[in-house]
Amino acid sequence: MNYTLHQLQIFQKIAELKSITKASEELHLTQPAVSIQLKNFQDKFPIPLTEVVGRQLYITDFGMEIARTVTKILTEVEAINYKTRAFQGEISGRLTISVASTGKYVLPYFLSGFMRKNPGVDLVMDVTNKSLVVESLERNAVDFALVSVLPDKLKINTISLMQNSLHYVASSDFDIADGESGEVLFEKMPLIYREPGSATRNAMENFIAQRKFSITKKMELTSNEAVKQAVIAGLGCSIMPIIGLRNELKSQKLKIVPVTGLPINTFWNLVWLQAKNLSPVAKAFVEYLEAEKEAVIAKHFDYLS
């Protein structure tokens, strides 16, 4: 059987997405090109790899077995590329990081210089809520995690990057009197929460519980961006990290409402398991952060002050 690396890559993507259309989009190929390569690959086997029921593409049991083998082959090919770069004196390999959702406004700035300096490094960054970030760290599924609240049950190493400040924010069209009491802001105004497991939600709930506010109007949304858009639209108010509100505050779509006890200040921390044997790429990233983090903050986050 003779099949090309290109065919393996295409079949792996089809098996992953269960769609020729989606595979062609991710691979930046036309649908006919992907279909032709799938047919050429299928012709190498006497047993069907895929089947179409109605308009839905399915991978057969045999196809799934082949897909698992293809993944192993492509992983080994990737390893060959990494080893070639290593022998040429380049830092190469994969860097995997799980990021608490608001951290998407932070970590890319600490990564960009490192990635430009080391073109042989591949980045995998998963953005999700804090609970799933900690879970991926605990399972040793990632090199690093970016969190604003340190997990208390794990033995970890930490690099503190920068401050994370949470403020009470409202639409600029919201009619809120100067010096409005916390009772009015939290008990009379509709309040928008992040989903359970979010560090922002936990901070917000702790603040409310400590002051014994009684919340009557409450909404729950599953991303920081969704909360921001809801606040802009006037659906309610929220406690949010200022790091993701730069443009909205500048354009006066949102406003910060002074509240006694706010802002809540924490720090963004890059963490990893103490027992983890860091790869050369991961070690190089730690060294880069220790040397460059202050310069990154000065260049990209001076507006926070």
- Domain total in the chain: 3
Q: Is pLDDT above 80 for 90? A: no
My answer on whether 188 and 153 are in the same domain is no
Q: What does the DSSP assignment read for the chain?
A: ----HHHHHHHHHHHHHT-HHHHHHHHT--HHHHHHHHHHHHTT-SS-SEEEETTEEEE-HHHHHHHHHHHHHHHHHHHHHHHHHHHTT---EEEEEEEEGGGGGTHHHHHHHHHHH-TTEEEEEEEE-HHHHHHHHHTT-SSEEEESS--SSS-EEEEEEEEEEEEEEEETTS---TT--HHHHHHTS-EEEPPTT-HHHHHHHHHHHHHT----SEEE-SSHHHHHHHHHHTS-BEEEEGGG-HHHHHTTSEEEPP-TT--EEEEEEEEEETT----HHHHHHHHHHHHHHHHHHHHH-GGG-
125 & 179 share domain: no
What is the distance between the alpha carbons of residues 246 and 230, in angstroms, rounded to a whole number? 16
Mean predicted confidence (pLDDT) in 182-199 = 86
Residue 112 sits in the same domain as residue 65 = no
Confidence grade of residue 248 (pLDDT, cut at 50, 70, 90): very high
Domain at 45, CATH number: 1.10.10.10
Residues 56 and 181 in one domain: no
296 CB neighbour count, 10 Å cutoff? 20
One domain, residues 38 and 60: yes
Whether residues 274 and 152 share a domain: the answer is yes
Give residue 119's pLDDT: 85
**pLDDT confidence tier of residue 223, bands split at 50, 70 and 90:** confident
Over pLDDT 70: what percentage of the chain? 95
Global pTM?
A: 0.68
Q: Are residues 219 and 243 in the same domain?
A: yes
Q: Give the CA distances from residue 5 to residues 23, 35, 94, 249, in Å, rounded to whole numbers and listed in that order.
A: 16, 16, 20, 49
Residue 87 reports pLDDT greater than 70: no
Asked whether residue 79 falls in the same domain as residue 128, the answer is: no
The answer on 153 and 272 residing in a single domain is yes
* 144-170: pLDDT as tens digits: 999 998 888 899 999 999 999 999 999
Let me know whether 104 and 133 are in one domain: yes
Per-residue pLDDT reduced to its tens digit, 253-302: 999 999 889 999 989 999 999 999 888 889 899 999 999 999 999 999 98
Per-residue model confidence (pLDDT) at position 164: 92
Q: How far apart are CA 164 and CA 103, in angstroms?
A: 10
What is the CATH number for 201?
3.40.190.10
Q: Report, as an integer, the average pLDDT of 75-81.
A: 75
- The pLDDT score that the predictor gives to residue 101 is 85
- pLDDT recorded at residue 192: 94
83 and 126 belong to one structural domain: no
Q: What confidence score (pLDDT) does residue 188 get?
A: 83
Same structural domain for residues 192 and 214? yes
pLDDT surpassing 80 at residue 117 = yes
For residue 179, the enclosing domain spans 164-265
Q: Is the pLDDT of residue 173 over 90?
A: no
Q: What is the CA radius of gyration of the chain?
A: 24
Q: What pLDDT shows up at residue 229?
A: 94
CA distance 283 to 280: 5
Question: What is the SS3 assignment for 74-133?
Answer: HHHHHHHHHHHHHHCCCCCEEEEEEEEHHHHHCHHHHHHHHHHHCCCEEEEEEEECHHHH
pLDDT at 34 over 90: yes
Q: What is the pLDDT of residue 89?
A: 63
Tokens 């190493």, residue?
Answer: 157
Work out the mean pLDDT of the chain and round it to a whole number.
89
> From the centroid of its chain, how far is CA 180?
36
